Amino acid sequence: MADELNISFYGYLFGLENLWFTETLRNIWIISGFMILVAVLVRINMSKWNPDKPTGVQNAVETVIEIFHNYVKSLMGDKYAFFGNWFFTVFFLILFSNLAGFVFLRNPTADITFTFAFSLSTFAIIHFSGMIIGGASYWKGFISPHPVMLPLNLIGDIAPAISLAFRLFGNVVGGFIIVTLLYNMAPVVIRLFIPVVIHGYFDLFSGALQAFIFLTLSMVFIRSKLPD
Amino acid sequence: MGYEIVLAASAIGAGLAVLAGMFTAVGQGFAAGKAVEGIARQPEARGSLMSTMLIGCAVAETSGIYGLVIALILLFANPFI
């Protein structure tokens, strides 16, 4: 059944026994290519920009960047606003991955390897930035309020990485399976109208919300390990 | 025979695992209700209440999502067969 409907954890395309070229990889390349194309086009357009009189593309780009920057500053504070540079890219990659269902690509976020890649990079940022910027206060955090709490603190540090990955994966793969079941099983008449609602909820609303929540929770976790 | 029993038990287990979503829904509804109360009392705090509620809902959702992931593993990547 899984082969017939193409609902599987890995959209297997071709490859060796343990080295697969999956649909996830192909779709990430398509999405990254799209994002690079947009970035290059904006950069070419930027040479014509006028700081005093913004028009067209400049307005849109500046608005997006300003909203994002203000949001990062409200969560991390002025001092650590530089983390926004990394999260801008991550946010838009996850957002476009969640929206990929609109153009009938398999969502890359419906693959647990993709979500774990990002949650583990968040995990690495949490701890390396804590070590480098926090120093002694980072190490003291493990034995606060009392050294007996050390095992609990260690579990509490590992849990965010797992819950971030599973939250994104579970939400997107649930929507993906429902959409795929609908396209494969529903009568043709229903297929004409219902998918609009389903795509609107699972891809647009849920996808954008999950990308936003991944961003927010990552920044909250990072901020909690940093000193004031 | 053993194979069929494992298949049937996996399907029943997947169904039971999805029940984890039951109390997640209760918790999310409670959070949303409290947010509505807060907005009714203080309409100007709408923006920050809204984003706090969405984050809280997402965190509360995690346990339901774990149940969903276990159900999906039992259905599509069954470790027992």
- Each residue's pLDDT expressed in tens, for chain B with a length of 81 residues: 788 899 899 999 999 999 988 999 999 999 999 999 999 999 998 888 988 888 888 888 888 999 998 998 888 878 887
In sequence order, the β-bridge partners of residue A15 are A20
Residue A88's pLDDT is 93
Across the interface, of B59, B68, B76, the residue whose CB is closest to A170 is: B68
Chain B CB contacts of A209 under 8 Å are 54, 58
Alpha-carbon distance of B75 to A96, in angstroms, equals: 28
Phi-psi region of A104 (alpha: psi -120 to 50; beta: other; left: phi over 0): left
Would you say residue A152 lies in a domain?
yes
The answer to whether position A42 is within a domain reads no
For A142-155, what is the mean pLDDT?
88
**How far does CA B16 lie from the centroid of its chain?**
13
3-state secondary structure of A47: coil
Q: Which two tokens stand for residue A104?
A: 């009938």
State which amino acid sits at residue A39.
A
CA distance to partner chain A, nearest, from residue B58 (Å): 7
For residues A217 and A126, is the Cβ–Cβ distance under 8 A?
no
Answer yes or no: is A18 within a domain: no
Show the domain range for A70.
Answer: 53-224
Is A139 within the bounds of a domain? yes
Residues of A in contact with B66 (CB under 8 A): 166, 170
Residue A35 lies in a domain: no
pLDDT of residue A3: 43
Kindly state whether residue A180 falls inside one of the protein's structural domains: yes
Assign A77 to helix, strand or coil. coil
Residue B25: count of CB within 10 angstroms of its CB: 12
Judge: B58–A163 Cβ closer than 8 Å, yes or no.
Answer: no
Q: Structurally, how many domains does chain A consist of?
A: 1
The shortest C-alpha distance from B53 to chain A (Å) reads 11
Chain B residues within 8 angstroms (CB to CB) of chain A:
51, 54-55, 58-59, 61-62, 65-66, 68-69, 72, 76-77
Task: Please provide the DSSP assignment of B3-23 as one string.
Answer: HHHHHHHHHHHHHHHHTTHHH
Q: Give mean pLDDT, residues A155-180.
A: 88
A163 in reach of chain B (CB within 8 A): yes
The pLDDT value recorded for residue A190 is 77
Q: At what angle do helices A56-76 and A206-224 cross, to 10 degrees?
A: 40
Q: Test B72 with A171 for CB contact under 8 angstroms.
A: no
Residue A164 is assigned to a structural domain of this protein: yes
Binned at pLDDT 50, 70 and 90, residue A191 comes out as: confident
Assign B79 to helix, strand or coil.
coil
Top mean pLDDT of A50-54, A61-65, A177-181 is at A61-65
For B34, residues 6+ apart whose C-beta sits below 8 A from its C-beta are B53
Element (H, E) at A13: strand A12-15
Asked if pLDDT for residue A183 goes beyond 90, the answer is no
Would you say A84 and A7 are in contact if contact means Cβ atoms under 8 Å apart? no
| Closest alpha carbon within chain B to A217 | B55
Measured CA to CA, the distance from residue B29 to residue B23 in angstroms comes to 10
Residue at A8 is within a domain = no
